[in-house]
Chains A and B, each alone.
Chain A
Amino acid sequence: MEQAAPAPNTNELRRGLSAGLSIAFGYMPVAIAFGLLAGSTGLTVYEAVLMSMLVFAGAAQYMALSMIAVGAGMIEIVLATFIVNFRHLLMSASINERAEPTSKRYRALFGFFLTDEVFAVSSVHKEPVPGGYILGTGIAAYSSWVGFTAVGYFTGAVLPAILQESMGIALYALFIALLVPSIKDAGRPVVVLALLGGGFNWIYAFALDTGWAIMAAVITAVVVYELLIRRRIT
């Protein structure tokens, strides 16, 4: 049943914007590196910024660049984006149960901003999570992502070559930084899943294009892991 949309509470919005600042800060080097890499991949600044505005998904955007670089097909890139971002379905489902009741239109608005990081910040808020809080967090992260994509596109070239070279590690450092707290919290399951994902990707990468290799690796990894834990239980 459709409920009346409560007017977005400016107080909640402001609290969300403040919480989202940490993400905005964290996105800065990654967005700059994306803008820089987009330029070196041959995208125009408009194409790079449009991608950050419409997609707003770091890993998928980086993957798209690497696929463009190797001459992958457009449909293949869209499908790979779908596979990489499909995990947001579960985050959306989780937020769905935690968020305060709001109109579907409002949920369709703040749902746009549900990256891993926006989800993580939003989901630790005590229930029910106000829609304005999620929206504020998302807008702070989004502004940084889009703005620094443009900054990176133009300033990338003026950075010292040696720093540019090192910036190639930025995305991987981010992924590791995202993984380590989970390893510390959950331990072996996270390590095993990451090793399975990386291991199968390494194997599939010999035969498949990037997007398909990642897709096949992730599916294989979660199925193999499921079989492993079932065998251990039963």
Chain B
Amino acid sequence: MREEFIWMIIGMGLVTYIPRILPLIALSTENWPDWLRRMLSHVPYAVLGALIFPGILYAQETIWYGMLGGVIAFLIAYTGAPLLAVVAGTILLLTGVHIIT
């Protein structure tokens, strides 16, 4: 293992671990202003949006396959299917499209 990679992974672990436990062991959010708590509560959806787009366009060899995968995933997820079914179903259907085209 490369030493600089180990330090990077330890650093990544620490900056992930600290926010996960800090409120559990030290913090009370009751005194936070409403607007700040509200903005923090919005972070996950903005993060998901940023993680999906524009990355999904480059997940396959062409933009169209990526977008098709996104549409397939959305439709499967919309039926209320569990996470695994959405992921596996999207991979299988997209594989089918790859084979046909």
List residues of A whose CB falls within 8 A of some B CB. 22, 25-26, 28-30, 43-44, 46-47, 50-51, 54-57, 59-61, 63-64, 66, 74-75, 77-79, 81-82, 84-93, 95-96, 99, 104, 107-108, 111-112, 114, 116-117, 162-163, 165-182, 184, 189-190, 193-202, 205, 213-214, 217-218, 221-223, 225-226
A25-B84, A47-B9, A178-B83 known; A167+B91 contact, CB < 8 A: yes
Q: Which interface class (under 10, 10 to 19, 20 to 34, 35 or more) fits B?
A: 35 or more
A-B pairs with beta carbons under 8 Å apart, 5 shown: A57-B16, A79-B15, A96-B27, A104-B24, A177-B83
A215–B11 Cα distance when bound, in Å, is: 18
Q: Classify the secondary structure of A's interface with B.
A: helix
| Contact A111–B61 (Cβ < 8 Å) | no
Cβ of A36 to closest chain B Cβ, rounded Å? 12
Cβ of B81 to closest chain A Cβ, rounded Å? 8
List residues of B whose CB falls within 8 A of some A CB. 1-2, 4-13, 15-17, 19-25, 27, 29, 35, 37-56, 59-61, 65-66, 69-70, 72-74, 76-78, 80-84, 86-88, 90-92, 94-95, 98-99
